[in-house]
A and B are shown apart, each in its own frame.
Chain A
């Protein structure tokens, strides 16, 4: 054999063996660090721990993927404190929420294990749980090992409406970080000008207020209209339940074309078309927030967290005149408000579960939440009851009737406000949202759209085993 050829063969062999070795090494790392049950000292088994008893997870790097939110903007500034205290390196990544959903489901579905913690919200909890993407937290919370779970960690201090929504088959799937319900924001100065002396408590009263406000030549009300399970389907169920409708009957069959559901949809469409801004039929909360801040909108029914947008003098012209009221109900007392939370989930494929769990406890914990709320003076969407009851918190956020309205609205929350217990809810919700928006924009009547929707969903529910046969 010629020397040149020999060199080439040897070079090729060395490359192949190098490749095989690297594959072998990486698979060895995976097997040694994987494991689902909480086990103290498992990090040291990977050889990553420093040996320091106070910092059992020192040297571990965790990757966190979350949406963008004011809470994270502020809380992230405290992360160096956590890193110093634990020796854990935190690589934080924030992606806008719609893009995040795509990115994270691709990662989870491909089981890359690239991230240890991701965002979970109630609309995805069942889907993620049934897909086996999320690590249930029961055993972690119950652990009496202080190296796993901080003895001061109190799951009961998290507002139960949020943890209940994140619980699937008795398994908690995430720790809430930000929480909200739906409430009515309104302008007290415009109410006075329009001669409205009673804050609306029902949707019929809201409509009466709209008629009076319209005379002032302002946009009377802003409601999310764009189709989507997290868009118009976050608001429309308040109408559905207020007007006596429901999603399904006792056997689980959809009843979205019932007279009550059709009337609710028609009322929702009429409110947007008759009393909302021009182009309101395709608007989301984003446009309404800006409009309310600029003083162009008299009422806005949406998520409670937007109080900070209206109180910020740099963004809002209505800092002194906005008020909050609990979610309006039906005339006969029935109705519902939403509850939603952005939560952190422990990824099933994570290779650093113990370290990631340390971070989750700290990042969503009451101490950090209190600091973020009190330091920022704008972020009030905390998830801990003890923080909400704190006198300092109440001094900052207690104005505008916001705290009282928050608690009253949360009492009106229904777990089936959206059918989030169905794994295919994102698809179902989008389909419902489409029928609602079609009604708003006049593509068919409410009856036609809800009939077509109900027929389609009935078939879908049967195929997916959601009905009692």
Chain B
């Protein structure tokens, strides 16, 4: 009996450092985020904080900039998913049929993933430069000269391309891990039953990759929502507000205009959105898994 209590005490004591760190870096900032969202709190206001109830929340709902950033974020996340997930699947499927040299190909596609976002943004900004950039230099052969980042019609797509270059390797890596867990026996059985390549992919690979796929989608959504370096360094949210995502909008409110109260409210909205998305996706995932 005594030893059990001592054991529990030891366990609790061992948990303390973890709980303290969790408290300091997550719980307390989170509580502050909610508290500040109810205040008119600008760092430049010498009178300090003033409690204003739900005013920041009603301002967010009426804020056209917020609505715009919501739409931009939606487009960006959709663009990221629609390009990276199918490419990940395609790549894994192709790699699974390559007998020789697949290791080399895997090694070659990984480097973009380890390039810091800031460095990637600077390099791509230079490549996109309308007159001195590498992209227009090559496209010039076909008579194409375009301001990729400056033209509002291509800004977001250009940012999605950079994200594609940098983060598709992550998707491939996750899918490869999932694919390697699928037994070859299943494919053998499918082939004996007369299934063609598409049927094997549709009825064996895809259902059994569901776990990896869902995790990939969840990670890419969260990563895209918090994406900052590419937008900040390549477009600064522009031209106009064409590439101002919620995250970048909240950053500007907090650090350019030092409006802590309003940016906290935007933070609360972002937190609710990501939580909701995670819950919905996990529900879909769990439902699929139980089926």
Contact = CB atoms under 8 A, between A and B. Distances in A.
A11 interface: no
A441 B255 contact: no
Interface in A198-220: none
A441 B152 CA distance: 7
Contacts of B236: 226-228
A279 B130 CA distance: 6
A427 B257 CA distance: 7
A200 to B, nearest CB: 24
Interface string B40-84: 000111100000000000000000100000000000000000000
A108 B45 CA distance: 11
A131 B239 contact: no
A222 B172 CA distance: 44
Given A426-B256, A438-B240, A441-B239, A280 B150 contact: yes
Interface in B241-285: 241-242, 255-258
Interface residues of B, number: 27
B151 interface: yes
Nearest to B259: A427
B238 A282 contact: yes
Interface string B127-156: 001110000000000000111111110000
Given A278-B147, A291-B131, A105 B239 contact: no
B242 A443 contact: yes
B235 interface: yes
Interface string A114-136: 00000000000001101111000
Contacts of A226: 236, 238-239
Contacts of A110: 43
Contact of A109 (B150, B238, B239, B258): B258
Nearest to B236: A226
Nearest to A281: B150
Nearest to B260: A109
Interface in B159-212: none
Overall SS of chain B's interface: loop
A227 B236 CA distance: 9
A281 B256 contact: no
A50 interface: no
Contact of B258 (A105, A130, A287): A105
Given A282-B149, A437-B238, A443-B240, A102 B255 contact: yes
A282 B258 contact: no
Contacts of B235: 282
Contacts of A132: 46
A442 interface: yes
A437 B149 CA distance: 13
Interface string A339-382: 00000000000000000000000000000000000000000000
22 contacts: A105-B258, A109-B44, A127-B44, A128-B44, A131-B43, A131-B44, A226-B236, A226-B239, A227-B236, A277-B130, A277-B131, A278-B131, A279-B147, A279-B149, A280-B150, A281-B150, A282-B239, A437-B240, A440-B239, A442-B152, A443-B240, A443-B242
Interface of B: 43-46, 64, 129-131, 145-152, 235-236, 238-242, 255-258
Please name the 5 residue pairs, one residue from A and one from B, whose CB atoms are nearest each other, closest first: A109-B43, A279-B147, A279-B130, A282-B150, A131-B44
Interface of A: 101-102, 105-106, 108-110, 127-128, 130-133, 226-228, 277-283, 287, 291, 296, 423, 426-427, 430, 434, 437-438, 440-443, 456
